[in-house]
């Protein structure tokens, strides 16, 4: 990103040099609000510690590769100079699912884990970057659960994957033992989905593929993230696998929209994206109360598609949006996939 372009943002605050807890968010006090915030700075920035790549910065802050590339579209992902300013992710809109267990929103290469409530502790959500299935090995959608947990798993590559690797001149053994080059990493969560879909770690050679459409359908995570999830999630935890590239949500009486690009092999037109966005805005209770929301901001969000939540409308504090979705905190209700 060219440094001068940063001044286009309305707020430019302190540069963030480190991160203590990259994935833990406190849920908003208002249970109807669904926008979570990591940093106080509206536009959090960091300086490159040395000549490096955007992937190195993403790794340091536990962000996905496509996520940081989209936020820094003017940057050369392979050539970030020492002290160059890099933009980080900050706000996120929670997917429209029950706030329990794990939600995998494959459209944004990111999962959300809602730990059980603890007395005296504010409700939290943990969010982690992960890789998803390629165009020809799509990650499935629907509700399932964690049915098994394995530490230091061996990998038994399916025959279909062995044939693919053999055709590419990279034959696989029948069993890959635990170790740094095991594609499953050190921890694995087995999901109750036909076909053997997993949430797992990664081998050291593929660690920069986190946050990309690159797997055979499983969800691949950074080593420290899968370790934390493995140690937190019991067998039986519900898992919601959804595809919501466009999300809307309230925070402090401001309505935000967050939009992500289509996955590889999928294509929706600008008109289709706009239709989805307007339906979500209406569902958020805004159709009657905000006839003059920021149309330019909506158009920009649906054009740039960088995953950064954009403010559309600010209501008076005494107004309250109706609860129109069953996906409120602790809800057991249904959900929808978006586009």
What the block records as the tokens of 284 is 């958020």
Torsion of CA 117, 231, 213, 111, to 10 degrees: 0
Say if CB 64 and CB 111 are below 8 A apart: no
Round to whole Å and give the CA distance between 141 and 144.
9
Q: Tell which residue, 167, 165, 169, 147, has the closest CA to residue 157.
A: 165
CA–CA distance, 13 with 45 (Å, rounded to integer): 8
Other CB atoms within 10 Å distance of the CB of residue 323: 12
Nearest to 212 by CA among 77, 304, 16, 303: 77
- Known catalytic membership, residue 218: yes
SS3 336: coil
Q: Of 200, 216, 260, 337, which one is the catalytic site residue? A: 200
Choosing from 99, 216, 218, 260, which is the catalytic residue? Answer: 218
Strands (E), 91-181: 92-93, 101-105, 110-114, 124-129, 132-133, 142-151
Report the Cα–Cα distance between both ends of the chain, in Å, rounded: 30
Q: Which residue has the tokens 């140690």?
A: 231
Give 277-281's long-range contacts (Cβ < 8 A, gap of 24+).
277/246, 277/248, 277/301, 277/302, 280/246, 280/247, 280/248, 280/338, 281/248, 281/255, 281/257, 281/312
The helix (H) or strand (E) run that includes residue 279 is helix 270-283
Q: Locate 308 and state its tokens.
A: 């950064």
Active-site residues, by number, are 200, 218
């Amino acid at each position: 990103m060219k440094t001068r372009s940063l001044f286009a943002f309305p707020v430019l605050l302190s540069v963030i040099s480190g991160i203590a807890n990259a994935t833990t968010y406190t849920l908003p006090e208002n249970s109807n609000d669904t926008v979570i915030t990591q940093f106080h700075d509206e536009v959090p920035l960091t300086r490159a510690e040395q000549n490096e790549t955007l992937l190195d910065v993403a790794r340091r802050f536990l962000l996905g590769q496509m996520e940081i590339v989209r936020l820094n579209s003017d940057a050369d992902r392979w050539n970030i100079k020492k002290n160059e300013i890099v933009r980080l992710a900050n706000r996120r809109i929670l997917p429209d699912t029950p706030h329990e267990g794990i939600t995998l929103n494959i459209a944004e290469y990111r999962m959300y884990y809602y730990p059980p409530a603890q007395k005296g502790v504010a409700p939290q959500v943990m969010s982690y970057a992960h890789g998803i299935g390629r165009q020809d090995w799509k990650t499935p959608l629907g509700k399932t659960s964690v049915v098994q947990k394995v530490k230091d798993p061996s990998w038994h590559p399916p025959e279909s994957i062995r044939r693919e690797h053999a055709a590419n001149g990279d034959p696989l053994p029948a069993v890959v033992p635990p170790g740094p080059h095991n594609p499953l990493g050190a921890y694995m969560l087995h999901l109750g989905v036909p076909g053997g879909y997993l949430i797992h770690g990664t081998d050291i050679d593929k660690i920069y593929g986190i946050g990309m459409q690159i797997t055979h359908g499983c969800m691949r995570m950074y080593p420290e993230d899968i370790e934390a999830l493995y140690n937190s999630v019991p067998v039986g935890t519900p898992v919601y696998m959804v595809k919501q590239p466009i999300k809307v949500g309230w925070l402090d009486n401001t309505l935000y929209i967050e939009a992500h690009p289509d996955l590889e092999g999928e294509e929706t037109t600008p008109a289709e994206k706009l239709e989805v966005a307007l339906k979500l805005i209406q569902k958020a209770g805004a159709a009657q109360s905000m006839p003059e929301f920021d149309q330019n901001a909506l158009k920009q969000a649906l054009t740039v598609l960088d995953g950064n939540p954009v403010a559309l409308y600010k209501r008076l504090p005494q107004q309250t949006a109706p609860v129109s979705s069953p996906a409120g905190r602790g809800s057991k209700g249904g959900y929808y996939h978006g586009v």
